[in-house]
Structure 1
Amino acid sequence: MPNLISVVIPAYNATPTLAETLRSALRQTHAELEVIVVDDGSKDGTRAMAESFAAEDPRVRVISKANAGVAAARNTGIDAARGDFIAPLDADDLWHPDKLRLQLERFTNGPPSLGLVYNWYRRIDTSGRIIDISAAPVVEGWVLYRHLDWNFVSNGSTPLIRRSALGDVRYDPGLNAVGAQGCEDYLIQLQIALNHQFACVPAYLTGYRRTDGAMTEDVGRMIRSHIQMYRVLWPDLDDTARRLARRRMAGFFAEYARNRARRGLAREAIGAVGQAFAHDPLGAPLKLAEQARLTFVYLSRGQGGRADRPIDPRHFDAYSDSEIDTPWDARRRLQRFKSLAALDAAYDPGMVERPAS
């Protein structure tokens, strides 16, 4: 079947949200799809719920496996997929009905080197209401350097990936093995960007859910995941990319130092400060000063955490794909991107010389 899209949904104890997520996948206006739900050893009714959908819609398949984490579950789904395109979808996120159709149109009109098409997203709460400003970046073409500097795709439920662009690349379960799970999406996007171009559908087509107790809420773990991700990617990077990666790693070590200090873990905080200087001696003082400023703001406001109050009572589905919920100030980020865009424009994966590790 031409243009068959394989939607891959890893699911672990996902009964509160899985039905809504599956409905958002099955209502796509591009109907040539298969939906593969990988039950990752759930202990609740996730498998039964997925199988009830499969009984009603032949496009749904359910695979059950022992629990091994989200990366391994996604890989199981990819290996079982029959489509020319892979569409990852987390079991608590939502899609606009036109998401896959609009992304596929970009592939149809794009160059053969196009490997990934992303779109904008809205961050939603457990009830599907918008809770944050929705970013609207358009970053296209060769994007490796800009994507190293900023994860503008930002979540795993947004990309549509050409199957051939993946090749043998899969999500890295090793991030979970070292207690740093959380950046598998970002890592695989960067691995695709090494050899393929990106394109953007400038529309809000993904509802990215922030749930209580979600993995992304463990700030320390997410920081460690970013640091480990750059280490995994390091052998494949050229000198320019390595300079960017070192700068980014220094920033994450500075953030980790603040995270550890707030928890009274002085030795770990001091070690992280040392790592920040080791990776970016000139930039580390500014990065550490910024983290100190954020700590002061945090303490002065007496905040015990971020409050997720909806900025609009409407559900994600009530928004059009082009409706702006609140203004996004992109000036600082896009100003920095000007120099990186020039580097990306000159990027040629066939001419890249990667230094010895």
Structure 2
Amino acid sequence: MLEDPLFSVVIPSYRSASMVGEAVRSALAQDARSLEVIVVDDGSPTEDAQAAEAAGEGDPCLRIIVQHNMGVSAARNTGIRTARGRFIAFLDADDVLLPGALSAHLAAFEEHPELALSFGRVRFWDPAFGEKGRQSARCFSLSLPRILGDNQVCTASNMVVRTEDARQINGFDEALRRAEDQDFLARLYLGGYRTRGLDRLTLNYRTVSGGLSSDLDLFAADWRKAVEKARLLAPGDVALAEPEIEARFARYAVRRRLRLGTSGARDLSLLAGHLVKAPGLLLKEPRRCFSTFIGAAAAPLFRHPHLTRVLSR
């Protein structure tokens, strides 16, 4: 193993024995070969550690840590504590780094030495349909509404951060099972750390209807905790941004329910009420707002696939 790897790819794994191997291979195949890959088996009842080891085929860059189940945030924090690289790339066990992803992030850090975190664009990916999923929109700079409202970084798997900065903000909040990536980003942003987006596809982000974020009631509870934590850090900033934060989250929730086929009649009035309080969002992102509004209005008339096509435009 290299003495001082440039990157530490941290892969938390729980009940992912059938998928973690693909994540490991995508990390080990990166052209930025100065790396280590740390798989943290978070007390999984499936054979995640064995699957990761098999995928590594004896590669000395692969390290496997097995711990008692403590949740995804604790697993990532184990990776942060043990990482030896200058940068940490987070990668969930069901996601896949695309070729050249780490080199693209490295170029951003070299061009902008003050940078604490880099993120790319993701493909919302269902392996059953191949690489035909829609892609996240370009986002070069973050704001509090973009972080807390609808998380335009999309997922922790899309974040590469300087190791020293991740440690400085004490990693992920282990009390959060959901919205922990938004909380991490908000603390980084409010701490004055610099972030930057790349106009490059860097990740296949697996979408599954049974994922953590599919249960919107539980997700909303942890999301609210993340907002309140940000309020304690910067009450004035959160108060100023709150109408747009709430409108963005309402839009996100409606879009999730539409894709899951669970949208109800109250979604239309919910979305309209929040957009009235944050009319600036209509000016910033008219297409996304209106497509969601149309989807909510049409929900009683069309089947789920039709709504998905509307929202993917």
Q: How far apart, in 2, do the equivalents of 1:32 and 1:148 lie?
A: 33
Q: Which segments of 5 or more consecutive residues in structure 2 lack a partner in the other structure?
A: 282-289
2:61 to 59, 84, 87: 59
Counterpart secondary structure, 2:9: strand
Partner of 1:241: 238
Flag the structure with more relative contact order, 1 or 2, with Cα contacts below 8 A and sequence separation at least 6. Answer: 1
Would the aligned equivalents of 1:143 and 1:197 in 2 still touch at CA under 8 Å?
A: no
User: 1:219 offset after TM fit, Å?
Assistant: 2.7
TM-score normalised according to structure 2 size: 0.79
Match of 1:202 in 2: 199
CA distances 1:124-158 after superposition (whole Å, capped 9, x unpaired): 11347235421331323x74454345422111111
- 2:39 maps to what in 1? 37
d(CA) in 1 for partners of 2:43, 2:104: 34
Contact in 1 for aligned 2:125/2:204 (Cα 8 Å): yes
Q: Distance in 2 between matches of 1:254 and 1:153?
A: 16
Cα contact 2:38–2:62 (8 A) shared by 1: yes
> Helix, strand or coil for the counterpart of 1:135?
coil
Greater C-alpha Rg: 1
Aligned to 2:109: 107
Match of 2:123 in 1: 122
In structure 2, what residue type is equivalent to 1:109?
E
- Give distance in 2, aligned partners of 1:281 and 1:137: 22
Deviations 1:42-80 (CA, angstroms, capped at 9, x unpaired): 111112122334561111111111112111111111111
1:84 equivalent in structure 2: 86
Distance 1:281 1:137, change over 3 A: closer
Letter in 1 for 2:300: L
Q: Is the 8 A contact 1:230 1:249 kept in 2?
A: no
Q: Is structure 2 residue 277 aligned with structure 1 residue 283? A: yes
Amino acid at match of 1:185: D
Contact kept, 8 Å, 1:220 with 1:256, in 2: the verdict is no
Measure the CA separation in 1 of the matches of 2:92 and 2:199.
Answer: 21
State the Cα distance separating 1:304 from its structure 2 match. 9.0
CA distance in 1 between counterparts of 2:105 and 2:251 reads: 37
Q: Return the offset for 1:21.
A: 0.9
Q: Is the 8 A contact 1:124 1:208 kept in 2?
A: yes
Which range moved further: 291-300 or 61-70?
Answer: 291-300
Q: Secondary structure at the match of 1:115?
A: strand
DSSP 3-state at the match of 1:116: strand
Q: How does 1:245-284 map to 2 (within 5 A)?
A: 245-249=242-246, 252=249, 283=277
Q: Report sequence identity in percent.
A: 29
How far does residue 303 in structure 1 lie from its aligned partner after superposition? 3.6
Q: Deviations over 1:255-277 (max 9, x none)?
A: 87997xx98x9xxx9xxx8xx98
Q: CA RMSD in A?
A: 3.7
Q: Distance in 2 between matches of 1:65 and 1:305?
A: 44
Per the alignment, residue 284 of structure 2 pairs with none
